[in-house]
């Protein structure tokens, strides 16, 4: 059985430590823990690390397009490998959850997240799993689009490694035991921001 696990983010060093790239960070953690390297996919702008565990294969993918254009390469790989949306997990940042919070869901609204909107379009359905990683809301009147493209603050950095590891564990739990098991074991409430 093959699962496609896609971490959303933006390519390039300028974005590597930003809030918007927490999905990529989880993808890196999954590949790293299995000692697998990412390899460029021919004719599709994304990298994939292939992790085998018994009869389960995880294709951990990082689109090489910008976040808001993530859908076409994810959709292309899913069709090429004949992976049904019920076996697709997308990992992404979520400003509507406090920093460090984590939620898992199947389908539903994208809440205006442009990366998710692109994936829904690329897969032609909203019915895929989402691992939502809380990065908190911007302070004051800051534009959310600018906020997610900033690096985590020094104060926030302590939360990031545990959030990333929790995201990786959640993916493993979801694949092994299903949605309810992942929700019961890995939902996190995070920290309240102090504005």
Mean pLDDT by 10 residues, the chain (195 residues): 97 94 97 97 96 94 96 97 97 95 96 94 97 93 92 92 96 95 91 52
Single out the residue of 117, 71, 112, 118 nearest to residue 95, CA to CA. 112
At 194 the pLDDT is 43
At 146 the pLDDT is 92
- Is 87 catalytic? The answer is no
At 139 the pLDDT is 87
At 6 the pLDDT is 98
At 192 the pLDDT is 57
Q: Check 20, 87, 92, 113 and give the catalytic one.
A: 20
pTM above 0.85, yes or no: yes
The beta strands (E) that lie in the chain are given as 2-7, 39-40, 46-53, 56-63, 88-94, 102-106, 129-134
At 54 the pLDDT is 86
């Amino acid at each position: 059985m093959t699962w496609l696990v896609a971490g959303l983010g933006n390519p390039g060093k300028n974005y590597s430590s930003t809030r918007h790239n927490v999905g990529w960070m989880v993808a890196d953690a999954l590949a790293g823990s299995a000692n697998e390297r990412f390899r460029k996919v021919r004719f599709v702008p994304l990298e994939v690390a292939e992790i085998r565990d018994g009869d389960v294969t995880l294709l951990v993918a990082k689109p090489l397009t910008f976040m808001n254009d993530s859908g076409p390469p994810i959709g292309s790989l899913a069709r090429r490998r004949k992976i049904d949306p019920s076996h697709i997990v997308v990992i992404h940042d979520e400003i509507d959850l406090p920093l460090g919070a984590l939620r898992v869901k199947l389908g539903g609204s994208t809440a205006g997240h442009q990366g998710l909107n692109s994936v829904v379009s690329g897969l032609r359905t909203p019915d895929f799993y989402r691992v939502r990683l809380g990065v908190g809301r911007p302070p004051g009147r800051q534009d959310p689009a600018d906020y997610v493209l900033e690096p985590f603050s020094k104060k926030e950095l302590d939360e990031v490694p545990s959030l990333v590891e929790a995201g990786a564990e959640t993916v493993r739990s979801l694949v092994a035991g299903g949605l309810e098991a992942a929700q019961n074991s890995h939902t996190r409430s995070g920290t309240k921001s102090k504005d």
